[in-house]
Amino acid sequence: MVLLQPEDKKAIENELEGLSEAVKLVAHIPANKNEPYENLKSLLLEIAEMDERISCEILTEGDDEEVDYILERRPAIVVQDKDGSDRGIIFYGMPGGNTLKSFISLIVLTSAGETGLEDEVIERISKMESSSLQVFVTPATPRCDETIEIANKIAYVNSGMTSSIVDVTDFPEAAQQFHVIGLPMTVGNDGLKFTGVYDMGEVMQILEEKISDTE
């Protein structure tokens, strides 16, 4: 099953030119519900076929008990580097539209290990308190890829931070649980919540000062 259009493939191939080390795309899908996730499996296989440094593995719930992180929902996708680390970054749902852009960026980040951030920014992120960030989006959310990539880079730099991308079209119950009323919305495990697109400097200030737009 071919999901990507020729123009999409060309754009992805251009992005994948930034790869350096091998990466593995690992999808975790619910047990006894394989058929609805054929599109997800096909998408990951299509991406893996574009470059020999990318491999793909599909794990059904029950076959992935040894994972060293907790999956809150399925389907979930992680991108592992050559050492098998995923840096605590998880995609919940099927990447598409703007979320596909950020997923491809994550593949390149995991392979190349280059965030493009200045040393001063990296130092500030490294000093941040541990937190779990959830970014709620849809594939059609304008500029959500920018918000996702910032959260992913923070988690990549700081081992105490995690980044979970939640597609609310696949998980509407999660949107209800966290009272998501605007997108993109970022939620921390310490009650922090902010809505909209911010640059890296603004996000760091929000996290450092624990500024919440719900206050």
Every domain of the chain and the residues it spans = 6-84, 119-209
Topology match between the domains 6-84 and 119-209: yes
The b-or-e profile of 37-52 (16+ CB within 10 A means b, else e) is beebbebbbbbbebbe
How does the average pLDDT of the chain come out, rounded?
Answer: 92
Ordered alpha helix ranges (H), the chain: 6-15, 38-48, 98-112, 119-126, 144-157, 172-177, 200-209
Q: Which CATH number fits domain 6-84: 3.40.640.10, 3.40.50.150, 3.30.70.270, 3.40.30.10?
A: 3.40.30.10
Query: Per residue in 153-169, pLDDT tens?
Result: 999 999 999 999 999 99
The answer regarding whether domain 119-209 maps to CATH 3.40.50.720 reads no
Separation in Å, CA 39 to CA 2, 85, 95: 9, 25, 10
Query: Per residue in 39-59, pLDDT tens?
Result: 999 999 999 999 999 999 999
Find tokens 């050559």 and name the residue: 82
| pTM check: above 0.75 | yes
